[in-house]
Amino acid sequence: LLQMGLRMRVYWAVQYLFDLVLSMTTLILIYIVGIAASVATFSQHQFGIVLLTMFFWANAMIGFAFFVSTFFSRTRNANIVMYLLVLASVVASLVISIEVLSKKPFLSAPGWMVWFPPFAYYRAIALLAGRSYLWQDLDGREELVSLWGYLILESLLCFTLTFYLDEVLPKQYGVRRHPLFFLEWCGLRRTKRISSPLNHVGVDKSGIDVENQASANGEDSDVIAEEALVFSDNAEVLQAPVRVLGIRKQFGSFSAVDGVTLHMKDRTLTSLLGPNGAGKSTLISMLTGLYAPTDGDA
């Protein structure tokens, strides 16, 4: 999907919407069954309070799952860890609620506990099971409202960390960005400028002798001409949707792509021709973000 041009922010947005719809559908069904069965946790509160708590929890858990997934390259491993975390958090929350908080009904949950999304939700469920809430009774001093705030903050924090870690952590596919990449948005960090290899042989690009340069380097004249054009200040080239600047890819001692420089014009069809092993697929993989280049830029 990355190679076909899918942006990761689109992937995360679609995955979030899918998970949210699935979670809320399940929770609403549980709520309806609870109301029908006159379960006190659901029926003793004014309409919307339980559903709002479930909505905040669904967002917090989706964000937390996204955050944990950035540390894993395999879905199976991430699923196992999440199941174990949820199971452990249920047991720990029950122990804390029974052994500590239930002995003093009006004792609020400690801050360190509710900063963990599952604990915050389990504490909210415990409050809903033991008390009756009306909208007019909910103010900033009520613990349930504080738990809603914690769940909102945890959601935002987890989503932000997911976006950041997905950009900077190494992964099987995709280009890892600099830890301070966000400074580029503020103009505080500049991207690396790639210089033309022609500069290293004392050649003036503005008046380059293509034939002599090609003979000296053993390269075709059209390759030298394209390189001189791409590294020039030509306005048409600077506005090209794709510019490849001396890009290289090394796999150990093997050079799969060795200093490719070219540009692709808008509304044109560009083809890569070459025998097996020439580096066509590797070049496309670098351009689409699957592989990080060893050197150069695009």
Mean pLDDT of the chain: 78
At 295 the three-state DSSP class reads: strand
Which are the contacts of 35, defined by CB distance < 8 A and separation ≥ 6? 42, 43
Integer angstrom CA distances of residue 228 from 205, 283, 287? 6, 20, 21
* CA dist., res. 114 & res. 209, Å (int): 70
pLDDT tens digits along 213-234 = 544 555 677 777 777 777 777 7
The whole model's pTM is what?
A: 0.66
Cα dihedral 280, 283, 285, 288 sign: negative
Mean pLDDT for 286-293 is 76
* CA dist., res. 73 & res. 157, Å (int): 22
* CA dist., res. 258 & res. 216, Å (int): 17
pLDDT at residue number 24: 93
Give which of 225, 229, 265, 231 is closest to 245, Cα–Cα. 231
For residue 103, pLDDT over 70 is answered with no
Mean pLDDT for 260-267 is 83
pLDDT tens digits along 172-204 = 666 677 778 777 767 665 555 545 554 444 344
pLDDT tens digits along 57-92 = 999 989 998 898 888 877 788 778 888 887 888 788
For residue 260, pLDDT over 80 is answered with yes
Mean pLDDT for 128-133 is 83
For residue 155, pLDDT over 90 is answered with yes
Give which of 193, 165, 185 is closest to 177, Cα–Cα. 165
Which are the contacts of 191, defined by CB distance < 8 A and separation ≥ 6? 184, 297
